[in-house]
Amino acid sequence: MTTSGLTIALDGMGGDHGPETTIGGAEIASIRHPAVRFLIFGDEAVMRPVLDKYPRVAAVSEIVHTPVAIAMDDKPSQALRRGRKTSSMWLAIDAVKTGRAQAALSAGNTGALMAMAKVILKTMPNVERPALAALWPTARGESVVLDLGATIGPDAIQLVQFAVMGEAFARIIFGLERPSVGLLNIGEEEVKGTEQVKEAAQMLREAGLPMQFHGFVEGDDISKGTVDVVVTDGYTGNIALKTAEGTVRLIIEFLREALRSSLMSRIGYIFAQGAFKALSKKLDPRASNGAVFLGLNGLVVKSHGGTDAEGFAYAIDVAIDVAAADLVQKIVADMALLDGFKPSAAQASHSTTEPSEAALS
């Protein structure tokens, strides 16, 4: 993959910390990717003083002024009304549609980002609902997990579409010919789970897609790395993600308390500093920052809103990687394999559930 000629559009005003994080993150990323350029959308009066502190990224960036920023607590409908064609988030996504950038990245409001991305870029052929996919650290390395909150209540056909998009993502990111795919369930037995999940499993067994369908996986299989791709609905996926992040923070806090608990603990830490630093690096949630909206006619990446510049730089890395790999066209090609697949009448008649506005918030 080559990054030469790539431009990444940044929502400079997004997230909890705005330009200090977005521009600071771009500075870090530009060290790793010197050939990449940035279009940074936002209030120039706010962003220019920050950009002037980072000469490296300033040399490869252009500020596009817009005074409108989407608030983190705006509802998607409010964001669309207030920020349509005028906000930093909208214009960053629109830069992908017009070809000025190859990917857009925002740390802003997830629901607003999803709504705007769907309006501007539309979903690709054979995709009914987009999915939010991220790399999840595991005992084996990393796995792709989707959906993490874009679509609430998908039906069986949509879960199959998620599986196809996830395996295409995994083939690109991990360099695998036939990634293993599992459906997240409450047990491995075929009789367990919702009707949608059971129907999706049957469809994946019959479809003859370029993947190894493992069957059902359980919650602990995510961290084990049992499969390369874990497929679930956005409601469950988002809860699993937040639970995992909270657990990591709890473990880190327990370690800190234990190391401060006695003189012998502090002395022991001196001798084990290397091991503790390696563990801290593995547990650092910033290294897994950056989730990709799959199924759109363009690339949009979501960063955690509360991350710092280092974490935002990791999200930029993800945007660069998927743009350089031409992820959209590879997903389109794999989704075309579903053209000839005809699910059973019961599966085909399964109702489609629209995500609620509250779910996207």
Q: Say if strands 131-137 and 37-42 run parallel, antiparallel, or are unpaired.
A: unpaired
CB-based contact 112:83 (threshold 8 Å): yes
Q: For residues 190 and 260, state if they share a domain.
A: yes
User: Is residue 36 situated within a structural domain?
Assistant: yes
User: Is residue 300 situated within a structural domain?
Assistant: yes
CA distance 232 to 223: 15
Q: For residues 187 and 318, state if they share a domain.
A: no
Q: For residues 186 and 115, state if they share a domain.
A: no
Question: How many structural domains comprise the chain?
Answer: 2
Q: For residues 305 and 269, state if they share a domain.
A: no
Domain containing 260 — which CATH number? 3.40.718.10
User: Is residue 315 situated within a structural domain?
Assistant: yes
CB-based contact 321:32 (threshold 8 Å): no
Q: For residues 156 and 231, state if they share a domain.
A: yes
By residue range, what is the domain housing residue 210? Answer: 131-285+333-360
Half-sphere exposure of 267 (CA within 13 A, CB side): 3
pLDDT for res 32 = 94
Q: Hey, what are 311's tokens? A: 């974490």
pLDDT tens digits for the chain (361 residues)? 567 789 999 999 999 999 999 999 999 999 999 999 999 999 999 999 999 999 999 999 999 999 999 999 889 888 888 888 899 999 999 999 999 999 999 999 999 999 999 999 999 988 989 999 999 989 888 999 999 988 888 999 999 999 999 999 999 889 898 999 999 999 888 778 889 999 999 999 887 788 899 999 999 999 999 999 999 999 999 999 888 888 888 887 887 788 778 877 777 767 677 766 776 666 667 777 899 999 999 999 999 998 999 999 999 999 999 999 989 998 998 888 887 665 554 444 444 444 444 344 3
Q: For residues 102 and 218, state if they share a domain.
A: no
Burial category of 87 from C-beta neighbours within 10 Å (exposed 0-12, middle 13-18, buried 19 and up): buried
User: Is residue 290 situated within a structural domain?
Assistant: no
User: DSSP 3-state assignment of 278?
Assistant: helix
Strand-pair partners of 182: 215, 230
